[in-house]
Each structure stands twice: as C-alpha cells, then as structure tokens.
C-alpha cells in the first residue's frame, strides 16, 4: 500500500474525518520544534494543492477551537489566504499549537471540497486513498 510519511498520513486522516483534531494535536505536541515547523509548512503546501479559499479559512477557524483573538485566528481571516497561512506557519513556537489547529482545520475544509468535487469517484492521489 502507499508509503506515506506519518505527518502526511495524520494530516489527511484529520481532513478525511478518520482521526480527531485533538489526537493530531497530541501527536504534534510530541514533535520537536524543528519538526513542528516542517509540519506547519507541509499543511500550507497541501492547502495550495487543495486550492484553499478565504471562505475555507473562516470555516476552518470556526472548527479549530482557537479563540478569535489569538494571533493565528486573526491572521487566517485576512487575505490573501495563502500569504496569511505562510505567516501562521512562521509564528514563534509558543503559537505552534494554535497555528496547527487553525491551519489543519482550514486544510480539512479545502480538501473535503476537493474530494467531493474533482476527486469524486476515483482519484490517484495516494493521500486520498489511505488504507
Ligand atoms: Zn484526490
């Protein structure tokens, strides 16, 4: 079957509803700081692939469990969305957990739309065909 990296698998399991965001946060918390930086950037790249929109950011924030006054929450509501996601991925370590929640929730919204539209039926994306 597909040999996905653990980060890729976990991110996509959350997007596909087979793993909870809280479980993913537990996993993310166990990573070292440099690894957390990489994962945050990875989610931004996946969001580009999924053609993320500003509306996805608003919906993602609502599902993230992050308060609207927190820095990642404030940024995700600004446009252009990809530039803001890049800023969120670059926030200092004390913001990493909230950044992870906001970015992953936003990706989940964008990727769910993609799975239900252009990927509907059969697609060859390994990350959409998790065993
Ligand atoms: Zn697909």
User: Is residue 96 domain-resident?
Assistant: yes
CA 116–ligand 1 middle distance (angstroms):
9
pLDDT digits (tens, 9 = 90+) for 78-131: 999 999 999 999 999 999 999 999 999 999 999 999 999 999 988 999 999 997
In order of 48, 67, 89, the CA distances from 86 in angstroms are: 11, 20, 5
CB 89 within 8 A of CB 43: yes
User: Is residue 128 domain-resident?
Assistant: no
Q: How many domains does the chain have?
A: 1
User: Is residue 130 domain-resident?
Assistant: no
CA 52–ligand 1 middle distance (angstroms):
14
**pLDDT at residue 1 is higher than 50:** no
Range of the domain at 33: 6-113
CA 29–ligand 1 middle distance (angstroms):
28
User: Is residue 131 domain-resident?
Assistant: no
pLDDT digits (tens, 9 = 90+) for 23-69: 999 999 999 999 999 999 999 999 999 999 999 999 999 999 999 99
Q: From CA 39, how far away is CA 34, in angstroms rounded?
A: 9
CA 10–ligand 1 middle distance (angstroms):
16
User: Is residue 124 domain-resident?
Assistant: no
User: Is residue 35 domain-resident?
Assistant: yes
User: Is residue 125 domain-resident?
Assistant: no
User: Is residue 57 domain-resident?
Assistant: yes
């Amino acid at each position: 079957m597909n040999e996905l990296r653990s980060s890729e698998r976990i991110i996509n399991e959350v997007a596909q509803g087979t793993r909870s965001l809280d479980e993913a946060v537990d996993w993310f918390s166990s990573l070292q700081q440099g690894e957390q930086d990489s994962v945050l950037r990875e989610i931004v790249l996946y969001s580009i692939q999924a053609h993320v929109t500003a509306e996805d950011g608003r919906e993602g924030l609502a599902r993230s469990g992050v308060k609207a006054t927190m820095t990642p929450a404030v940024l995700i509501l600004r446009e252009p969305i990809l530039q803001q996601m890049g800023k969120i991925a670059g926030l200092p370590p004390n913001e990493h957990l909230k950044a992870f929640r906001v970015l992953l929730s936003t990706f989940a919204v964008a990727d769910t739309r993609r799975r239900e539209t252009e990927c509907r039926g059969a697609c060859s994306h390994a990350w959409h065909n998790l065993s």
